[in-house]
Amino acid sequence: MPAKFDACVRNGGKITTKKLSGGRYQHICWIGGQSFKGHIKKKKVKK
């Protein structure tokens, strides 16, 4: 994850998940009115 995102998580930021097209999602950390985006991930398909 990006360094600023990790620092936000360590400092107690609130994590939200943004749904994207194509079964993808992104975690976003909010702290002090600022947002820090994590990597874009893809949902795993159940077999």
Q: In what order do the strands lie in the sheet with 14-20?
A: 14-20, 24-31, 34-42
pLDDT tens, residue by residue, 1-47: 899 999 999 999 999 999 999 999 999 999 999 999 999 999 988 88
Domain ranges of the chain: 3-40
Residue 30: per-residue pLDDT = 98
